[in-house]
Amino acid sequence: FNLALANHLCGLDLWEQQQQQKPQEDPSELLKNNANIMKHLLSAGRLYEYTIRLERARSHQQQQQRASAAASYNPSSYPALFVSPFVLMAILNNLGHLHVIMQNETQSEKCFRQLQSTLMYMLQFQNKSGSNTNGRTSANSTNHQSMIQVFMENASLGLRTTRMTAAAA
């Protein structure tokens, strides 16, 4: 994930530098005509996707370990969680952003829809677990709510941007 993020930020930085050097040129043309920028953005996309595959494999392994641990109950045999839902949401958000930049509306919309679905799941889970707190709100819960709000806004903005780009084309 960190390597994907580094490539993502490097590609954006290079693209911004190109836009400052050639302000009259169409930003999408600058992107297409610069192999170095595209290399970083495509690498970021591949690394984000690899991270998702890796986390799915870990999650599958974790489920298998839990099933075998449930057969012979031993609390210490439960593995720690490998990925936070917030990491998954960050990956989907960043991947959606990459696809917007590279004008791949279909993939961008897919990422932002998956992000929205994950957010809805998180909200449902939070509401169910929140009903067991006897009215107490922890700082952790407040932090999670604000993070969910940011991701919801990004997903909505990403979907609107995708629709506007597709309509303009």
Q: What averages of pLDDT result for each successive group of 10 residues across the chain (169 residues)?
A: 95 92 85 89 95 85 75 50 74 92 90 88 73 52 67 72 49
pLDDT at 91: 93
Residue among 115, 99, 113 at smallest CA distance from 11:
99
pLDDT at 71: 61
Please tell me whether the overall predicted TM-score, pTM, comes out greater than 0.75 for this model.
no
Give the position of tokens 């169409």: 26
Alpha carbon distance 67, 62 (integer Å): 9
Alpha carbon distance 15, 95 (integer Å): 17
